[in-house]
Amino acid sequence: MTSTNAVVTRETNRRRTFAIISHPDSGKTTLTEKLLLFGGQIEVAGAVRGRKTQRGATSDWMEIERQRGISVSSTVLSFEYGGCLLNLLDTPGHHDFSEDTFRTLVAADSAIMVIDLAKGVESQTKKLFRVCALRKIPILTFVNKVDRPGKQPLEILAEIEAELGVKCSPQNWPLGYGADFRGIVDLNTGIAHLFEERRGDRRLQGTSIPLDEVDETLVSAEALAQAREEIELLGESNQLDREEFLAATATPVFFGSALTNHGVEAFLRSFIQIAPAPGPREADVGLVPVDREDFGGFVFKIQANLDPKHRDCIAFVRVCAGRFARDMEVMHARTGKKIRLRRVHRVFGSERETVDEAFPGDIVGLVNPGEFRLGDTLCTGDPLHYAPLPAFAPEKFAAIRCTSSTRRKQFAKGMEQLLGEGAIQTFNDPNAATKEPILAAVGELQFDVVRYRLQSEYDVETALTWLPFVTARWVSGPGPLEDLRLPYASRLVFANTGHPAVLFSSDWDLKYAQETNKAYRFDATRAGDLSTNTNSTAARPL
C-alpha cells in the first residue's frame, strides 16, 4: 500500500457522512444545533434556529423560505467529534422538497431518523425511510421530545416496527418521561445517567450509577418501577445485528430530548461508533473502493445563486474514492473533457472556505459555469461512471407559459438552468397544440420556487395551468410506442432527455394501462434520467 493510500484509508475511516430525516417539527433543527454545539462549530444554542429566521436577510431568492417559514436550500455542515469528522448533509425540511432530499440521501452513508415521541411515525418520515431502506442506507433512530407528554416508549417501538417494517434495537431507555423525565439508562452497560435539574426549590443532582443502585430518592418510585419492568421486557433486543443494520432492516433506537440536551451527547458518542465510514460505491466498472489510487466523485446537487453576493452556481460533489486536491486536473466522465478544478469550496451554511484537499465522504462545492449536471462523475486515472442518480415519479403537473413576449430567451435560459439543477422535471407533448413545457414535481411548492426564481433571477413573469394528472411512469417495451393502448385521459410525453413517459390522471388508469400492455414496463423511477449519463450499466433504480 502506498503512503497516499494509507492516508486515504485513515481519513476515510474517521469520516461519517449522514443526513437527518424527519417529519417537519419533530426537532431536526434543534438536534442539528446540538450536534454542532458538541462539535464546537457554534458556541451558543440558538445559532442555527437564529439563522433559520434571519435567512431572508442574507439571501434574496430564499425570501420564499422566510415568507413561508420553511427551509428550501440545503448545505453541508462539517464538524469534528471524538476523533471523527462528521459531514451532515442538511436537507430541506418541507415535504414538498422531497426530490432534493432524495438525491441528497444518495450522497449519505447513513441517516438519523428523528421521531417525535408524541406524534410517532409521520408521513414524511415514512416516505424518507422507504428511500433509505430501498437504497440500503443504515438508519439510527432518535426518539425526540421525551421531556414532553407522549406515547409510551414501548408503544413507539411497536409503532416504528409496524409502520416501517424495521426491527428496533433500543440502545437506551428513558427513566420517566414527560414531566417525570429524569435520565436515561444505557442498555449496553446498565448505567443510569441522571440529569441535574431543578424541581421547584429542590435541586436534583446529576449522576451516573448502575440502575440497581438508583432509588426513590433520585427517581419517583413509579417511574423507576416502570423503567425496570420495561427493561426486563426488552430482554436482549439491544443487541444490534450489524448486518441487518447495514441493510437498513434493523435500527438502533435512542431516546432523548434535543431541546433540553438530555441524551444527545450519549447519542453522538454512539453514532460515531455505530454509523459506517464511507465504503465502496457502485459504478459501471463494478464496486469502486474508497482507497482507489485515483480520485472519483459525483455531482449530487447543483444550486445557483446560493449567495446573492456571488450570483454563481455551485455543483456539490461527493468524494467517493482517492484523494481530492485543489487545482487537480480531473476527467469529466460524461463529456470526456479534462477540467482543472481551481475554485473549490467547502460550503458551511451560508459561508464558504477554500478547500485544499478532501477525502471519501467529504462534500466539495465546485463553482459551476454550466459545465456540470446532476449525476456527473469526475475522476482521475481510468474512466468510470458512478451509478446514475434516480429520478422520482412526480405527483403534480402544470403547463408553464412565459407571459411577457419580450422575455422568451431569458425564460428558455432560466428553465435550462433550473432543469440542470434538478429543481424540477419537464415533459413535452409532441401532439399538443401549444409547445408549453409541462412542469412536473413531487410537491406543489417546487412550482412556486421555479416561478419565483424565474422572476427574481431572470426577470421573467410566468403563468401556470394545472393539469389533471396524478402520476407519471417511464415507459419502455419491445414494440413501438404507437402500439401502446392507453386510457383516454392519459398522455404520452417525452422528458427533455428524450425518454418517453405516460402521464396518468388516476391510479385506476395506470392499472388499466399496465394490464392492457403487459409487454411494456411502466417504471415509477428511472435511474440516470437526470444525468443523461446513459453510458452507465450500473443503474440501480429505486
Instruction: Give the shortest CB-29-to-ligand G4P separation in angstroms.
Output: 3
Per-residue burial over 467-505, b if 16 or more Cβ lie within 10 Å, else e, is: bebebbbbbeeeeeeeebebbeebbbbebbeebbbbbbb
| By the rule CB under 6 A, 257 interacts with ligand G4P | yes
Binding of ligand G4P at residue 505 (CB under 6 A)? no
Question: Which residue, among 169, 186, 144, 163, has the nearest Cα to 250 in the 3D structure?
Answer: 169
| Interface with ligand G4P (CB under 6 A), residue from 147, 291, 362, 529 | 147
- The 10-39 site mask, x for binding ligand G4P (CB under 6 A), equals ------------x-xxxxxxx---------
Chain-centroid distance of CA 358 in Å reads: 21
**CB nearer to ligand G4P: pick between 146 and 389:** 146
Q: How far apart are CA 464 and CA 373, in angstroms?
A: 26
Q: In whole angstroms, give the CA distance from residue 479 to residue 489.
A: 22
> Strand, helix or coil at 405?
helix
Q: How many residues bind ligand G4P (CB under 6 A)?
A: 17
CB of 257 to ligand G4P, least distance (A): 4
Closest to ligand G4P by CB, 29 vs 172, is: 29
Interface with ligand G4P by CB under 6 A: which range of 126-134, 140-148, 372-380, 391-399? 140-148
Check: CB of residue 441 under 8 Å from CB of residue 451. Answer: no
Rounded Cα gap, residues 505 and 98, in angstroms: 21
Kindly write out the interface string for residues 311-340 of this chain, putting x where it contacts ligand G4P by CB under 6 A and - elsewhere.
------------------------------
Beta pairing class for 110-116 and 296-304: unpaired
Beta bridge partners of 197: 204
Among 75, 144, 425, 505, binds ligand G4P (CB under 6 A): 144
Spell out where 355-454 has E strands.
Answer: 357-358, 363-367, 377-379, 390-391, 396-402, 425-428, 438-441
Instruction: Report the alpha-carbon distance of residue 193 to residue 188 in Å, rounded.
Output: 13
Angular region, 31: left φ>0, alpha ψ -120 to 50, beta rest: alpha
Q: Which three cell numbers stand for residue 480?
A: 413501438
Question: Residue 35 CB, nearest distance to ligand G4P (Å)?
Answer: 12
When asked if residue 95 is in the footprint of ligand G4P (CB under 6 A), the reply is no
H or E element in which residue 360 lies: none
Sole binder of ligand G4P in the list 14, 66, 135, 148 (CB under 6 A): 148
The conformation of residue 262, written as its DSSP 8-state character, comes to B
Q: Which is nearer to ligand G4P, 50 or 286 (CB)?
A: 50
- Residue burial 38-67, b: 16+ Cβ < 10 Å; e: rest: bbebbeeeeebeebbeebeeebebbebbbe
Query: DSSP letter string over 90-131?
Result: ----SGGGHHHHHHHHHT-SEEEEEEETTTBS-HHHHHHHHH
Nearest residue to 468 via CA among 396, 524, 393: 396
CB of 255 to ligand G4P, least distance (A): 10
Which CB, 48 or 106, lies closer to ligand G4P? 48
End-to-end CA distance of the chain: 36
| Nearer residue to ligand G4P within complex by CB, 27 or 297 | 27
User: CB under 6 A: which stretch of 188-196, 200-208, 257-265, 450-458 binds ligand G4P?
Assistant: 257-265
* Nearest residue (CB) to ligand G4P, 46 versus 210: 46
Shortest spacing between CB 20 and ligand G4P, in angstroms = 8
Question: Which x/- pattern, by CB under 6 A, does the window 372-411 give for ligand G4P?
Answer: ----------------------------------------
Stretch that binds ligand G4P, among 8-16, 142-150, 329-337, 452-460 (CB under 6 A): 142-150
Among the listed residues 227, 258, 415, 445, the single contact to ligand G4P using CB under 6 A: 258
Contact status: 462 vs ligand G4P (CB under 6 A): no
Q: What string marks each residue from 42 to 61 as x (binds ligand G4P by CB under 6 A) or -?
A: -------x------------
Residue 34 or 352: the one with the smaller Cβ distance to ligand G4P is 34
* Cβ nearer to ligand G4P, comparing 49 with 136: 49
Collapsed DSSP state (helix, strand, coil) of residue 155: helix
Q: Are 194 and 204 in contact (CB under 8 A)?
A: yes
Residues that bind ligand G4P (CB under 6 A): 22, 24-30, 49, 93, 144-145, 147-148, 257-259
